[in-house]
Chain A
């Protein structure tokens, strides 16, 4: 069923604002962070107004309410990605922290000097730097699945790397620059055949299409609330039960322990083993409201809508003289379009578009190695979500023509 986008837009208060008097907001930067529906804002507001208390140990009414809300959100998130159990959903600050958690615990316990970790050339810095740090510290070896001219992963190069017996394959399910949707199921299946553990950076996938961790057979999967209609400051790590149980704790402190003695401690059970200190409780409640909202709208309809808007955007962008769009065709792409405009720096494009209220991103989008590969210091990026329309694509295109006039 087609999305009722006009109605959906009503759910997002910020979309009703003018950037300047008489200039309405055209928000095309959801890949950086999405806007938030009223239901999420209200859920967090209500939590603070009615139920705010610290969780897990209090016995008073508010503490019990807060604990129940925090855990109910975990259950909703687990259901949203079809995790077998909420125990397998660890709250973190964001995707970056989720990946760092795996690098600090599972990887430090299981990888030694010379062990191979396979990444890809299209990774976000969050799925590169934790491994660079580990490579320096441990002497693990890093290799990269190359990206083809068409902006796809070169699965032939993956086959060659798999033959070297990797211990871990860690990759983005969808590129935040090229928009490429990678064949995650196949990548994971082949990693498992080679005896490797898999980590999926799902920061751009879970918000935009149905992701089922069991169907994928992912060992770890990381994502952030703020890119999927939820608040900043909270994300999640899904993990296979036996892996999570075998891992040492991450941060030490309250909540992550079962017992503490003067000179020793016993870690808590899952998922608390990995959640030291007072967590982002209101944010967890907001995260729960966000997945509830997305599930109600329907992830398949959201994906279909984004596909239609993206297909239209590619068509319109490619007809502008001097515009180059990077990445694959609409069939293999999510709602991300990165482009350059001859003779005009992406920063200037973004700044001129801002005059018309059109918010896009300019820079290397935390994927500098990919930009080096493309031979570009920066690109402009317009990205789409459930609330974006083809009319907004038209405004983007008008703005690009205006940038060309300014520099003519």
Chain B
């Protein structure tokens, strides 16, 4: 069986635990991967902007982008916002538990890029956020 499509990834893709949109929310951010049309929106509720209390993602795309978004959201609930600012590429790859080529890496990192642009309060998400 192919590593890339481990059961855990297919499972999070088909039955995401955190898919949807929090309304009201304290923070929302969205971005797309223009190459493949993957789209992710993340909404967060925080405890006075200190700790993430609730989080959700919405959007569409390939299994890698959607599964990594679900895994990422799951992992940040209860985390201090300051800690989220420090998350990097390796963090997501560890969550996924797979190695990825450069093209699919963009799919995997889209959710982290969106999340970090959101918590930093940026106008636009940039690839530098997840390097």
In the complex, whether A102 has a CB less than 8 A from a CB of chain B is: no
CA distance A351 to B36 in the complex (A): 13
Taking the complex as formed, is A44 at the interface, i.e. its CB lies under 8 A from any CB of chain B?
A: no
* CB contact between B36 and one of A344, A346, A355 (< 8 Å): that residue: A346
A149 contact set on B, CB distance < 8 A: none
Give the docked Cα–Cα distance between A406 and B36 (Å).
21
A348 to B13, CA, bound (A): 11
Instruction: Decide if A347 touches B2 in the complex (CB within 8 Å).
Output: no
Shortest distance in angstroms between B8's beta carbon and chain A's nearest beta carbon?
Answer: 13
Residues of A within 8 A of B107 (CB): 347
What is the number of contacts between chain A and chain B, taking CB atoms within 8 Å? 46
Q: Would you give the shortest CB distance from A63 to chain B, in whole angstroms?
A: 41
* B16 interface residue (CB < 8 Å to A): no
Query: Contact between B4 and A351 (Cβ–Cβ < 8 Å)?
Result: yes
Q: Specify which of B2, B39, B62 lies most central, judged by the most chain A CB atoms within 10 Å of its CB.
A: B62
Q: Name the one of A346, A352, A362, A371 contacting B5, with C-beta atoms under 8 angstroms.
A: A352
Contact A377:B60 (CB < 8 A) given known A347-B107, A364-B37 = yes
**Interface bin, chain B:** 10 to 19
- Are A355's CB and B2's CB within 8 A? yes
Number of interface residues of A (CB under 8 A): 16
Q: Which of B4, B10, B63 contacts A345 (CB 8 A)?
A: B63
CB-nearest residue of chain A to B32: A377
For window 32-70 of B, CB contacts with A under 8 Å fall at: 35-39, 60-64
Interface assignment of B79: CB less than 8 Å from any CB of chain A: no
Distance in angstroms between the alpha carbons of A352 and B98 in the assembled complex: 15
Taking Cβ atoms with an 8 Å cutoff, the residues of A that contact B are 344-348, 351-352, 355, 362-364, 371, 377-378, 406-407
* Shortest 10 CB-CB contacts between residues of A and residues of B: A377-B37, A345-B62, A347-B62, A348-B63, A378-B37, A348-B62, A406-B5, A347-B36, A378-B36, A355-B2
Chain A to chain B contacts (Cβ below 8 Å), 5 pairs: A347-B62, A348-B63, A355-B2, A364-B37, A407-B10
Besides the known contacts A345-B38, A347-B61, A352-B2, 6 further A-B residue pairs in the complex with CB atoms under 8 A apart: A345-B36, A346-B62, A351-B104, A377-B39, A377-B60, A377-B61
